[in-house]
Structure 1
Amino acid sequence: MAPRLVFVHGIGGPRDPAAELAHWTTALAAGMRAAGHSALARSLEAAPGAHAAFVSYADLFGRPQAQGGDDAPTEAELLAAFVAELVDEAAEALAEEGGTPEQLRILDHARAEAAPAGQQQGAPDLVRRALNVVTTLLSLRPWDGAGEWITPKLMVRHLGQVSRYLARSEADADGTTLDVRIRARVAAAIGDGPAVVVAHSLGTVVALETLHELRSPVPLFVTLGSPIAMRTVVLPRLRPQPPAVPDGTARWLNFWDRDDVIAVRPRLEKDLAPGALGVRPVSARIDSDGLWVHTATKYLAQAAVAGPVAEALGAAPGSG
């Protein structure tokens, strides 16, 4: 049986699943053509629903928040820590690649804003600190033109979805927490498999945890712009611990763009233990055009991403 393609989105506002499925498959088809798989690209564009499913869960973040347990880290604390680690990752990247004096100055300022003030802070103070840091970070090239697509306030709101998911709180009337409700939607789309799972941003965390619960056969797991390797906030809060590749995953490709403010430098090969099949993640850098590259379609249109997806779906290398 040919595997089904399952897309899992990341941070952001509510989506129209049908429109997003068409948008993602169009981008993936462009990448497939660039990789030499034009026949599959035509088939995918002609009938996206016959080959793929788009998992939408952003609407769940719009519901009223419930209070978590007293011993759980607050969402505001997680948000502040997440933003602080983004700054550290950006600084590490500039140190590796050689930043300009102005870039280094901006990052030093962002680091100072991200540093704890010394006294205990309430949620409003933590959110305000995160907003200040993001405002400074987005002034750093190449992201200084991103205001056309995203404002600091909107970005903080979207980044807050990561902390809300990892807080494992916001139980509904049945006692089911937000993260469990989100994973249930992904699990319904994957089913018993086989499935090629392509996940973006926060969706990479959601998909990883879902695959551990399902243990479905996954010939290929693709992560795009993933925060999984964030060692302070994300990695130690993954479930299950210690972090590992799901047992049913036969191949895991992780793609990152150096201009993606959310994607961290890949360390997944070192940070995740192999699954039952002995698989470890394999990371590769891609370079997209434009100012704001943290969108799934930027990644999907790359031949390096779309080629392996096409082959996993059953297309022969060089077909079409």
Structure 2
Amino acid sequence: MTVGGKPQLLFVHGIGRLRDTAAEHREWLEALAAGAKSAGMADILPILTRGDLCDVTFANYSDLFNRPGSQGQSTEGLDEHAVAVMAELLNAVLEELSDTFPAGGGSPEAFVLRDARFQLDAVVEQRQTQGLGEIGRRLVAITTTMLRLPGVRRSAQWMNGQAFFFQLAQVGRYLDRRTSKASVGVAVRARLLDGLDPSRPVVVVSHSLGTVVAYEALHDFAGTVPLWVTLGSPLALGTVVLDRLVPRPATCPEVTASWLNFWDRDDVVAGRPQLAKWIGPNSDGVEAVTKRVDSAGVWTHTATKYLKHAVVARPVIEALRPCP
């Protein structure tokens, strides 16, 4: 297949609320433009914002997790599998955060994490004697405790522990491979691939759970991806994500010519940021090249915070810009 023509830019969001496609498309593009300006690439802004540089798609699959009246708004609807995955996910997040904020450091974060760890250990030990609804409520109490982390508690992203719980639970719902549940993952990946033209190059910018979705979708994509950017990725977050990826063992998608992974130290969702240690290269030797960024403010786990960094925006623009 000959690949050419106007490039495509695909934005893939992560966990969260029901999203407005047009509004998020605009916000992500504006953040990328701000990052490009910071990188000294102001000359590209007019053609980027007009749509002359590339065709931009915001792949919105949030309605598949946030349908009114759907399962996921009450702990009474959780089954054994969902509870087990959520406990495993919380355990992995707490382990990664504990590496960042060790117990002996005496930081406020360390005290919060110790409290959350105590609660989670108690839930695991008593699972056999508790009903699923009660276990779910106790897991929500753990996410409520985690909202006391200084970098999270003032954020409008999660107003309460229950919202935090059910948005984190989207990771487990996506990775549920049981026959009765796997249709969710199939539908999510279809949102990414259906609008793409495989005859034209695609630059993919994915965030949070979106990096997991993109990983699996790109393994089924027949086109060319000159650059894949992952932001705040949980791809290697313990066995709860890494061992559930398809295909396994985890490797960089064959269609990917370059893979840049960015993480922020204060991002509570990203874990094991050095993805190349856990995910192998493709047949061309392409693997994740990880770089750290430091964001201002109290909340770092948003795609727009990442995109405003010059170090993130520059390679995206360079991959989209026609060769001289």
Report what 2:35 is aligned to. 31
Q: Which runs of 5+ in 1 are unaligned?
A: 67-71
1:182 and 2:188 correspond = yes
1:16 and 2:16 correspond = no
| Cα deviation code 1:136-162 (max 9, x no counterpart) | 222122323226753221111111111
Instruction: Judge which range, 187-196 or 255-264, deviates more.
Output: 187-196
| Cα deviation code 1:237-270 (max 9, x no counterpart) | 0000100000010111111111111111313111
Inter-partner Cα distance in structure 2 for 1:185 and 1:102: 41
Residue 16 of structure 1: how far off its partner (Å): 1.6
Residue 114 of structure 1: how far off its partner (Å): 1.5
Please say if residues 249 and 277 of structure 1, whose CA atoms lie closer than 8 Å, have aligned partners that are also in contact.
no
Report how many residues are paired: 308
Please state whether the residue corresponding to 1:19 is helix, strand or coil. Answer: helix
1:124 to 127, 133, 136: 133
Please state whether the residue corresponding to 2:92 is helix, strand or coil. Answer: helix
Superposition pairs of residues 87-106 of structure 1, within 5 angstroms: 87-95=94-102, 99-106=105-112
Please state whether the residue corresponding to 2:162 is helix, strand or coil. Answer: helix
1:294 and 2:301 correspond = yes
Inter-partner Cα distance in structure 1 for 2:317 and 2:299: 26
TM-score (norm 1): 0.89
Please say if residues 199 and 207 of structure 1, whose CA atoms lie closer than 8 Å, have aligned partners that are also in contact.
yes
Report what 1:278 is aligned to. 285
Report what 1:43 is aligned to. 47
2:216 to 209, 214, 226: 209
Runs of 4+ in structure 1 deviating by more than 6 angstroms, as ranges, are none
Going from structure 1 to structure 2, the CA distance change for 1:250 and 1:217 (only over 3 Å counts) comes to same
1:108 and 2:114 correspond = yes
Between the aligned residues of both structures, percent identity stands at: 43
Please say if residues 90 and 261 of structure 1, whose CA atoms lie closer than 8 Å, have aligned partners that are also in contact.
yes
Going from structure 1 to structure 2, the CA distance change for 1:284 and 1:122 (only over 3 Å counts) comes to farther
Superposition pairs of residues 164-243 of structure 1, within 5 angstroms: 164-169=173-178, 171=180, 177-192=183-198, 193-243=200-250
1:160 and 2:166 correspond = no
Please say if residues 237 and 270 of structure 2, whose CA atoms lie closer than 8 Å, have aligned partners that are also in contact.
no
Please say if residues 245 and 272 of structure 1, whose CA atoms lie closer than 8 Å, have aligned partners that are also in contact.
yes
TM-score (norm 2): 0.88
Report what 2:75 is aligned to. none
Report what 2:76 is aligned to. none
Going from structure 1 to structure 2, the CA distance change for 1:101 and 1:261 (only over 3 Å counts) comes to closer
Inter-partner Cα distance in structure 2 for 1:164 and 1:220: 28
